[in-house]
Structure formats: structure tokens, C-alpha cells
Structure 1
């Protein structure tokens, strides 16, 4: 049997931890000031395989689209499998965006899972959806099976977009939280680029099945490697498993004094217990409704996640090949799509270098202003039949997205929301994100054929709305602890519990 683990009160009352004074620790070996460590980088990298898989599935239909829906003889079979599944604009839009329906369902269910079973275990379980989806996509004999496969990979991707930012935010320190947080978007972008490059060689009647089934191999890799990483200390503390939280911190901050960092986390949990607050999804909603600051931050997180999609990025990521094909022909369009993925990756790397120096709010404002401007440039290019302007506008739009609106909406949730409500807000915000993804993915092909270049005018309006909202309502989080930002933690606790001993 597993022995009973100490409660917060017992831990406070009985545990003596060796360490320097708080002042000394904060200026020398305090773990809360830690930078990058090998183990933490490994933990984040392994966890980010789910984001890589998300990126893979976001863009895997882009270059191979023509191989999936167009072939000389639709009735021709290869070893019993159809060579392609012919679809019109509306059905293809639904087939592609069924991924987003699954994403919304996965996102809405992930908060409960990560609060109950933990962040790492939730990531472990989530890989089942990718494996099932891979089998359905690779072995599909009709359109329905193929669409259901997209739906399952969507569940895995949506689930992962909730759990991953929470995991990263809870294993990283204030000093490098921005850079680690941007890894979510970086690995997603790498996944997009790799699948686009793979699509160049897999655009065939057999190759498209291999391309789509490879998502299962990525999932198996994460299943195997997740056993090497730790659960987050904040999750352990939310379950009153203080000894496990300390062990987790000691692994993550190897060689550093974790006393002050652990104390801050425990204080936040102690305050929640004194106030009768829990960490279930329902209790998270109740807390948000009671706490005006958290409520304001929660609405801002949801707003950012919706605007991220309605700015039009996945109109590009899903359909850039078809946009370029209308100008240059299919083969050139495929190479240009890979170029879009490459420039997206480079811009995301720049963002990681800037995010903890410049700040989140400035980058988001710069990103939204750039996207609005370059959407206008694409409209002019398409309507004036100027292919150079179209390419310039599209590439610059992707760069603008990567500079802020790509990584920051996911990162900001774990920075603005207290631990007790983060699962609730993450599920709601990212569920809305996936619904926005569905709207863009489903309607874009038909709207593009109807409105031509003016379809991007819709995205211009959304970018402007996002800019105004961020300008007036998004607080800066750079260099501030989660407890300081949210007002819940050691600085605001009013408990009579004694502190962890410092001597």
C-alpha cells in the first residue's frame, strides 16, 4: 500500500528544511531564479512532442490535398484501398475542419483530466487518440472513415494544447518561462514544416496515406519517452503531496535551493484551502465568478485564443497550396508552401529570443498590427493580379503571426490564471480556439472561391478588434511570478500557518 502523504498542515508543522535565509537564497542559489537546465529542457521537449504532432496534423493535408481528392480514376484501387476520395469545396472544407471539431472536444475534456490525473499522465493517455486516428487515416476505404480519423487526431491535438502549456508553465521558472512557453508554438511550427517537406515526396496514391499515418509513430515515441519526465510540483501540491512536489522541484532545479520556490507554491495552496477553494473544473468556474481579477484575466485568455484563429492563420496553414496553385501551378505552389513553413519556423525562433526581453503585450500588439496590414496587402495583390504582392503579403503575414499571436495566447493562460482555475480556463479558452479553427477551416475554401481576395477583409477586421482588446485589457506578465500576477499566493495569503523552516 502507498503510505499516507503529509497534508499541508502536517508538512508545515513537522518538516524542517535546511537552507539559507530568504535574502541570501534569492541572491545566490534560489531555484526560483534558475535558468535552463538539462533535465527541464528534456521534460519540456518530450512534452512538446504533442505539439509537434498537432503541427503535423494541422498541415499534413496542405501539400498532399490534390493526391487525396483528385485522381484520374477514382474507382481504381491499390491493394484494396481507393487511390483517392473526390470531394467538392464544402465537403473538403468539412473533412479538413473535422480535425478542429475533435480539437474542441479534446480541449474541453482536457481540463478535467489534468486536474484529476495530472499533467504527465494526461499527456500519456492522450496518445491513444493519435494512434487510433493514424490507423483510420492510413487504412481508410471511404471518405467517412478518413473524416473520423481526422476527428480523432483532432481530439489528441486539442487535448494536448490544453495540457502542454499548463505543464510547461508549472515546471519552468519566471526567468525563462516565456522561452519555455514559446516551445509550444515552436514545436508545432516544426511539425508543420516537417509534414510539408514530407508531403513533397509523398504526394502519390500511396504516399498520402503514409504521410497521414505517421502521426501514430510520433505518438508512440512520446508514449515511450514520457516515463523519463516528472509530474509538475504544482500538481502535486494541489493534491497535498508536498514531499513529491519537493522531489519534483529538486529534479527540475538540480543543485539549487528549492526552499523559497516550494514555499511560494505551498502558500498559494494553503490560501486556497483556508478559503475552501478546490481545483476541480466546477470549483474553478465558481472561483472565477467570485474573483473579479481572475474573471477579467479569464475573459482575456478566451478572447486571445479566439482572435488567434479568426485572424486567418489556418486559412494559410490548411490551404496555402491551393492559394499558390491558382497563381503558379501545383509544383511551384508546393515548394512555396514549404517556404511558408520555413519562414514561420525562423520567426518563431526569433520570438523565443525576444519574449522574455521585450514582453508579451508589445509582441502581441506588433503581431496583430502586422497581420492586419499584410492581410490588406494580400487583398490588393489578389484583386490586382500581382503575384509578387500576394507572396510578400502572405509570407509577411505568417512572420507577424509567429512574432506574437502564435505562441503567446497559449503561454499567457498559465501566467494570468491561478493554479486552482487554470484547468477550467485552459479548457474553455482552447475549446473556443478550436471552434474558431473549425469556422476558418470549414468556410475558407468556399468563401475564397466566392469572395476571392476580399475574403481576407474578414481577417483584417478580426485583427483590428484583437489589437484594441489587447491594448486596453491585457496586462504585461514578463518577469512576474504567477502568484504576483494573480494576487493569490504568499504575498496575499492571510493564513496562520507557519512558514517552512529556513534554518
Structure 2
């Protein structure tokens, strides 16, 4: 019945968060600060977006338009050194490696994310590498934000990536840096954004929750006072509430957490499955395959080289606009409904894209439908499938296991991206347009997982969500935390049957 009511709300547009009000503690501590973005919070969001996530998006989108130029360079370099030319198959494998090599570093960086986040802090670990950016920065942003702004802060991660992709697409134009002479400068231009971010690093705050977790109460108070810009008594009350929440889970956090312990803890099984599935599913939806090869897709749709580049930029503009819109969407609508709607619409667009590519030459109007399918997929992806996986781990896990869980999510994200970047050209050569049916299949599986196992996290403290998820795949995530506790207490009691 609960799912039926939710389904009605999903398609009727009733996705507002009326029944999931913010916890009493969060409401008390932020009443003076309601709907307030303080200058320091804005600075953090802007700095992190430009300096850490724009470079990630830039590296995703930069190899799209100049692909043929770089392939030619690779082939000529091999001929010059080894006096032989690559076959088409060998060139596809080499190009796949070039496209995805950045993601190998991201995966490796994610492995060390949880350790660095606990050892040098959220702020210190965020500035090291791309892999750490994905697994630590969402956690850093959400730990700085009050409860009612956690979703909006988390969306800045996706917003930075979409902005980076768009900037790369514009700079990749032949008239700017995408020609045979300037493309090396194109590949390295992302460093400008990192330099811009480095200027603000000294004034960025450390996470008060991290400081409090490490018994540095005075420093936590000082940082929270800077972030909230509230009177001392309001800050003190929020610090006391943080301490109260941490005391509830103190027995869990005293021994310390690491990836191994998180994986062995059965009460964390479902949240780990959700975080890793959403992060990997984001990539297996095929979004980066579309961005890596959108120019080739538009050419196949009958556009000229110039028109294909502008169409690719158009998809980047739509992606960026949806990133901006998602800040509002995530603030006002429930995570479950938005995620399911995004997955469903993305599946339909992927199937349409596959069919239009297959029947491209049958009718003159089909290429236009193909272009609409690409742009529609980018739009539907940006509603929820793009932003939500980046920050959902911070809402599913309490502060102790959170860094390890986010690191596992980062590994899944970069690993999935690497697999897609490496295999999509080969898939395209072997099965062609059916590749997008495969992506639709992965997204369908993710949709069903979200439908049955993703709890609503908006306005809830992670400790409440933990109660809902502690029974693994037997968890009833659509009931209230109190009902879930009752269920957990009785689930192991054998049922007595009277014959």
C-alpha cells in the first residue's frame, strides 16, 4: 500500500516532502538561520565547484570533438617510432585507453579516500586528486550544511561536472583550441580552475562534525560559528545536538572504521549496496558514453562536423541548466521520487535513441528524433540520476562509517566510468545502436533497486535512516523508523502456526 500511494504521488507530481519533516533537533538549531546561505557557505560551494569538480567534468568532455585529430596523432606517432600503422581495431583499443586512463587514477584515489578523510580532515583530503574529489567532497559539503540545505549543497558536485563538460566542449571547437596545433593546450587547460580554487583554500573551514568527532570541541565551535554566522548560543546548541547524535553511536565509532569493517558490518549491507549501485549505475546509464561520443552520434544523424560540434555544445548547455535546476528540485522534492522519475525517463530516451540510430536512413525525419533523444536523455539524467548518487551516501551513513562508504562509492563511480570508456567503442563496433539498449537495461535494474530499497533521506538524520536499513535486504525502508525498530525486534521471532 505504501508503494502504491508513493507511485500515485510520483506521477501526479506530489513529490513534496510533507510527510518527512525535519527532525526536531535540526529544526531547533537552525530556526534563526532558516533559508539562509551565509557568505562562507557560498564561498565553499563556489570554490569547490570551480576548483575541484569543473576539472573532473572537463576531463570527461575534452576528448570528444578533437577525437579524430588525437587519433591521427597517435597513429602517426606509432608509425614514426615503430614503422607500422595501427589497424582500425587496434586504434579503437588505443583510443579507449586514452579516453579512460584518467579514470584509473580516480579509482586508485578513491581507495585512499576514507583514510585521508579521517587522518587529515575533509578539507585537507579534498584538494589532493580527482578520485578523492568524488568520494570526499560531497561528504565535506554536506557536513558543513544545515539539514535543510544538504541536498542543495550536494548538487553542487554535479553542477561543477556539467559546467566542466560544457567548458571543454566550447574550448574544443576548431576555432578555439580544437585544431591540430592547439589540442595539447586544450587537454591541459583544466589546471586554470585548480589554480583559481587554490587561492581560497586557506580560508575554507574544516568540517565541524569531523573536528567534534576527533574531540576538538573548541575548534569545531569556532568553525561552525564562521559557517553559520549565528549568535554564540545558537552555535552552542547545534554543537550540543551534534554531540548528542554522536553519543548515540559512540560504541560503534570508538574502535574506528575502515573499508574492511564497513564491508563486514551486516547492518551496513543495504546502504553499501545502494551507494555503490547508484554511483556505478550513474555511469552504466551511458551518460559519459553519450558525452564522449556525442559528436560521432550527431554525425551519424546526418549533421556536418561543425553542426555536430554545436549540437554537442547544446547538450552540454542542457546538462548545465539541469544542474542549476536540480539545486531547486533536490531542495523541494523527495529523493526517492526524483530518482525513480529520472531513471524511468532516461530509460525511455535510451530506447528511443537506439531505435532512431537503427532506422536512421529509413526516413528523413528520424535523424531529428535521434537528436531529440540525445538531448532528452541528458535532460532526464540531470533531474536526479546525475546529482543524487554523489551525495546520497552522506545521508545514508552516520559520521563514523561515512568516509569508508563514500570511498567505496567513489570506486564504483570511477570503476563504472572506466569500464564504459574502455568498452563502449568496442560495443559500438560489435553491436552498434544496441549498446544503448544495454544501458537502458542497467538503468532499469537500478530503477527497481531504488523502488524497493531506497529509503527517503530528505529531512532525516542519518541515525534515523540507519534504523530503516539495518536488516539488509529484509529491511522495510518505506515505514517510519519507529515501525522499523518494532519490526527489527520481532523479525527473528519464529512464527507459531496452529494447525
Distance in 2 (alpha carbons) for counterparts of 1:319 and 1:72: 18
1:297·1:416 contact (CA, 8 Å) conserved in 2? yes
In structure 2, relative to structure 1, the CA distance for the partners of 1:440 and 1:275 (3 Å cut) is closer
Do the aligned residues in 2 keep the contact of 1:32 with 1:260 (CA within 8 Å)?
no
Q: What is the CA-CA distance between 1:163 and the residue it aligns to?
A: 1.2
Q: Which residue of 2 aligns with 1:384?
A: 359
Matching of residue 307 in structure 1 with residue 292 in structure 2: no
Q: CA shift at 1:224, angstroms?
A: 2.2
Q: Structure 2 CA distance, aligned partners of 1:25 and 1:359?
A: 18
- Aligned partners of 1:235, 1:245: CA distance in 2, in Å? 8
Q: Deviations over 1:415-453 (max 9, x none)?
A: 111110011111111101111111111111121122121
1:89 aligns to what?
A: 92
TM-score (norm 2): 0.81
Compared with structure 1, are the counterparts of its residues 275 and 105 closer, same or farther at alpha carbon in structure 2 (3 Å cutoff)?
closer
Identify the match of residue 162 of structure 1 among 135, 143, 157. 135
Residues 115 and 279, structure 1, Cα contact 8 Å, conserved in 2: no
- Matches for 1:63-462 after TM superposition, within 5 Å: 63-70=65-72, 74=76, 88-124=91-127, 126=128, 156-200=129-173, 201-256=176-231, 257-275=234-252, 277-282=254-259, 285-286=260-261, 289-290=264-265, 292=267, 294-326=268-300, 327-385=302-360, 386-462=366-442
The alpha-carbon deviation at position 279 of structure 1 amounts to 4.0
State how far apart, in whole Å, the 2-side matches of 1:345 and 1:419 are.
Answer: 31
Give the number of aligned pairs. Answer: 429
Contact 2:113/2:404 (8 A) holds in 1: no
Query: Where does 1:480-491 land on structure 2 (aligned, <5 Å)?
Result: 480-487=460-467
Cα distance 1:379–1:403, how it changes in 2: closer, same or farther (>3 A)? same
For residues 104-144 of structure 1, the C-alpha deviation after alignment (integer angstroms, 9 at most, x for no partner) is: 111121121111111111123x1xxxxxxxxxxxxxxxxxx
Task: Give the deviation of 1:278 after TM superposition.
Answer: 4.1
Q: Decide whether aligned partners of structure 1 residues 263 and 92 sit closer, same or farther in structure 2, where only a CA change above 3 A counts.
A: same
Question: Aligned with 1:255: secondary structure?
Answer: coil
Residue by residue, what CA displacement relative to the aligned partner does 1:211-257 show, whole Å, maximum 9, x if unpaired?
11112222222222111110000110121101111111101110241
Distance 1:259 1:350, change over 3 A: same
CA shift in 2, pair 1:391/1:26, >3 Å: closer
Report the Cα distance in structure 1 between the residues aligned to 2:26 and 2:375, rounded to whole angstroms: 47
**Cα 1:203–1:289, aligned 2, differ >3 Å: closer, same or farther?**
same
Q: Hey, what's the Cα distance between the residues in 2 that align with 1:448 and 1:272? A: 49
Give the Cα separation in 1 of the matches to 2:74 and 2:99. Answer: 22
Distance in 2 (alpha carbons) for counterparts of 1:477 and 1:170: 15
CA distance in 1 between counterparts of 2:211 and 2:121 reads: 8
Deviations along 1:16-58, one digit per CA (max 9) or x if unpaired, are: xxxxxx9999569646756311111111221222111111111
Q: 2:58 aligns with which of 27, 33, 56?
A: 56
Q: Deviations over 1:145-194 (max 9, x none)?
A: xxxxxxxxxxx322210111011110001111111110110111011101
2-structure distance, mates of 1:367, 1:478: 17
Does the CA contact (< 8 Å) of 1:31 and 1:253 recur in 2?
Answer: no
Q: CA deviation at 1:479?
A: 1.6
Give the conservation status (yes or no) of the 8 Å contact 1:233–1:245.
yes
CA distance, structure 1, for counterparts of residue 427 and residue 223 of structure 2 = 50
Structure 1 stretches of 5 or more lacking a match?
1-21, 77-84, 127-155, 493-503
- In 1, Cα distance between equivalents of 2:207 and 2:286: 34
In 2, the alpha carbon distance for the partners of 1:165 and 1:195 equals 23
More displaced 10-residue stretch of structure 1: 30-39 or 198-207? 30-39
Normalising by structure 1, we get a TM-score of 0.80
Are the aligned partners of 2:262 and 2:404 in contact in 1 as well (CA < 8 Å)?
Answer: no
| Distance across 2 between alignment mates of 1:374 and 1:277 | 48
